[in-house]
């Protein structure tokens, strides 16, 4: 099945909650899989970069596009890191992130490194 970024973003939007469930990696992985790409599973969101690259995603810069996935390294109190998928208007993980790609105050304060991945 070819990559369907809109289908992946739609799945993320449908399943997302109003607040974090602490399950960003699972929710984003399921969204990517709904878009047609199977990823290797990891316990921590911060470790998904390699799986995304192995599945045909590449490191992207600039304005996000529908279906882009961001992997964020840990922030204080958040050892597992974070990941989200771009819907075309907001980033979505296990919740709708209305304040940008950093999911909460600890991330916005610490500003840990991140990488955006885009499929060919």
Cβ atoms 79, 105 nearer than 8 A: no
List the CATH code of the domain at 5-119.
3.90.1720.10
For 49-107, the pLDDT digits (tens) are: 999 999 999 999 999 999 999 999 999 999 999 999 999 999 999 999 999 999 999 99
Tokens for 77, please give them: 């109190």
Confidence of residue 34 (pLDDT cuts 50, 70, 90): very high
When the pLDDT of each residue in the chain is averaged and rounded to a whole number, the result is 96
The residue extents of the domains of the chain are: 5-119
């Amino acid at each position: 099945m070819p990559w369907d970024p809109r289908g992946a973003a739609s799945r993320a939007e449908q399943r997302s909650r109003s607040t974090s469930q602490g399950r960003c990696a699972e929710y984003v992985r399921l969204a990517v899989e709904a878009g047609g790409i199977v990823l290797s599973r990891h316990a921590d969101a911060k470790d998904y970069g390699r799986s995304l690259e192995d599945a045909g995603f590449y490191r992207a810069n600039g304005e996000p596009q529908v279906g882009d996935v961001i992997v964020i390294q840990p922030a204080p109190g958040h050892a597992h890191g974070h990941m989200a998928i771009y819907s075309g208007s907001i980033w979505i993980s296990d919740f709708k992130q209305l304040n940008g790609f950093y999911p909460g105050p600890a991330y916005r304060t610490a500003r840990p490194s991140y990488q955006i991945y885009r499929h060919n």
